[in-house]
Structure 1
């Protein structure tokens, strides 16, 4: 009997090996790694977003003088927080690190990268590389010259209203999103896209919209988005560390919908730039009017109802009568802009709540409440 069981086990292993061998490359990687991780830059090729002339944050006189309430701290622990940081009046007010991470450790932004891509679009418009958010995508990408795709404008991509056919599924090893994350030809994915609905004001969150924006930026500027971000954004806001933008293959295309890897302190600079309405030390890095449009609710609908929670690749939290723009990644990567407190909050970690209230993961409210308590 034991010999039979052993024989069956060997047969199963052989069959699984054969199946694995014939799977697409991206599916093999998905099964090998099982779930996305904040340190996945270690398994991907990367392009550097280089820092230069760093401007370290000053520390507030109240730096780390206040303790996080036990209830909030328990929540941070429950969701495997790696960093929680508050910048107040352009100075570090509070920062704590966990699980072996520190102020010099980079980790994945996941979809918070979408908000960075949005800022790059605003910069390209200001430079005249892109005419406006109403310019057709077909002016930059040949595969958008025909059919319903020819009607898609940049604003449709920014507001997740392109009508592109895309399965935003994270758990299936065979979904298009998994192919985008683990695959090695993002431009081929974009070229093969089809439209399932007419581009309109109908909101449908699809990561591929951001990837298309990256191709638009590359065509418009003649640079990779990493190089463009280096020269037009990262160096201008005094980043202390080089960032890494993960690629689909060596020398390939950035995974623009995710995978901008940086430190909590440097992510806070993105929030501070938005808080400053695009200005950094007197230089207008992103147009103020673009920042305003990007961080206010777009005129979007879903199921016939107006939605108040999304702008140009920035989420918007309505909290106690305040509109709080924020960047958001799937494992709880957040950059919050608290305008009324002249503050920025960054939370990084390995998980987030699976429950939602008004389109926002429930842990979002915990971090915002904790920050307001600290800033009292």
Structure 2
């Protein structure tokens, strides 16, 4: 990227998106721009919040490719034979992996019970007890925290290893991504400190060792850019097929829609428009993929409340620069 364009872009970042930790822009598989802010570096690892969901989507796809999971239409309760169905509890028997991936599974709450969730030892079991209820199966309800962990437990039971171990073997190591260890919290203070940390490398897990599905993973923007690049290479990395092209297509195909925000949803991926798809996390963490322009933008950000929208930033300030540069 030309120096003048780079300076102009960084002025926008510092003035309007001041919590940015790192930014990577890749075009046609080449890195056009990589820079870090707020005393961060390429070695920094940032909590990417809900971007974690989209990584889990890839892992579910890999598990299906490998035959550990039959399909997205497999019933959730197939993986929990010990679950005791209460009298009159019919909806839970209909819920499939697809419903969890598309945020169309009903739960027995209107507002997520965060305190009870975080203080429970087994997050997946806690979520499973709240699955079902009177809501209609198939109706979009975005559940960012309580709910996705059921997918983590399904993956563990199907693969016979932890989510992190599965991810290391089949996704992270092939892509050259290092995620060191499970992270557990002894107190609320530790958890809040983690949100602001830049040097903790790992994936949050509950007291049972099950990795969180809706949050909790730390990555660098280059790590995230590699994930995005998989979508542009049809799942191939260094001549190795990491994940099937069909799963990638399915995961960024509209399966549900958040009517309130008029946002289409795939398999734990947001569909921005016909050509653009994104994994989005609180604070401004994002993996943005433009399949038409062969473009990937990955941004990590330090957590702040009500962070400015990064999709607007990318469309207004990055895509024009890229078009002028190439």
Establish whether TM, by shorter chain, passes 0.5.
Answer: yes
Match in the other structure for 2:41: 102
* Shift in Å, 1:314: 0.2
**What is the alpha-carbon distance in structure 2 between the residues aligned to residue 353 and residue 367 of structure 1?**
20
| 2:94 is the alignment partner of 1:157 | no
Q: Against the structure 1 CA distance between its residues 191 and 301, is the aligned structure 2 distance closer, same or farther, given a 3 Å change threshold?
A: closer
Q: Deviations over 1:228-273 (max 9, x none)?
A: 0001111122226645111123x62212210111111111111111
* Shift in Å, 1:203: 0.6
Aligned with 2:237 (options 277, 280, 291): 280
The question of whether the paired residues in 1 share the 8 Å contact of 2:23 and 2:36 is answered with: yes
**What is the alpha-carbon distance in structure 1 between the residues aligned to residue 118 and residue 316 of structure 2?**
33
| 2:203 is the alignment partner of 1:245 | yes
Alignment of 1:174-185 (within 5 A): 176-181=113-118, 183-185=120-122
Q: Deviations over 1:136-158 (max 9, x none)?
A: 01111236563321211000000
Match in the other structure for 2:191: none
**What is the alpha-carbon distance in structure 2 between the residues aligned to residue 160 and residue 317 of structure 1?**
17
Alignment of 1:43-192 (within 5 A): 62=1, 66-69=5-8, 73-74=12-13, 77-142=16-81, 146=85, 147=89, 148-169=91-112, 176-181=113-118, 183-192=120-129
* Shift in Å, 1:362: 3.5
**What is the alpha-carbon distance in structure 1 between the residues aligned to residue 256 and residue 179 of structure 2?**
37
**What is the alpha-carbon distance in structure 2 between the residues aligned to residue 202 and residue 284 of structure 1?**
34
Match in the other structure for 2:212: 255
Match in the other structure for 2:189: none
Match in the other structure for 2:150: 212
The question of whether the paired residues in 2 share the 8 Å contact of 1:325 and 1:337 is answered with: yes
**What is the alpha-carbon distance in structure 2 between the residues aligned to residue 284 and residue 145 of structure 1?**
40
Match in the other structure for 1:375: 322
Match in the other structure for 1:326: 278
**What is the alpha-carbon distance in structure 2 between the residues aligned to residue 280 and residue 74 of structure 1?**
31
TM score, norm. by length of structure 2: 0.82
Runs of at least 5 residues in structure 2 that lack an aligned partner in the other structure: 181-200
Q: Against the structure 1 CA distance between its residues 178 and 314, is the aligned structure 2 distance closer, same or farther, given a 3 Å change threshold?
A: farther
The question of whether the paired residues in 1 share the 8 Å contact of 2:289 and 2:297 is answered with: yes
Q: Against the structure 1 CA distance between its residues 344 and 163, is the aligned structure 2 distance closer, same or farther, given a 3 Å change threshold?
A: same
* Structure 2 SS opposite 1:132: coil
Q: Against the structure 1 CA distance between its residues 260 and 195, is the aligned structure 2 distance closer, same or farther, given a 3 Å change threshold?
A: same
Q: Which runs of 4+ in 1 moved over 6 A?
A: none
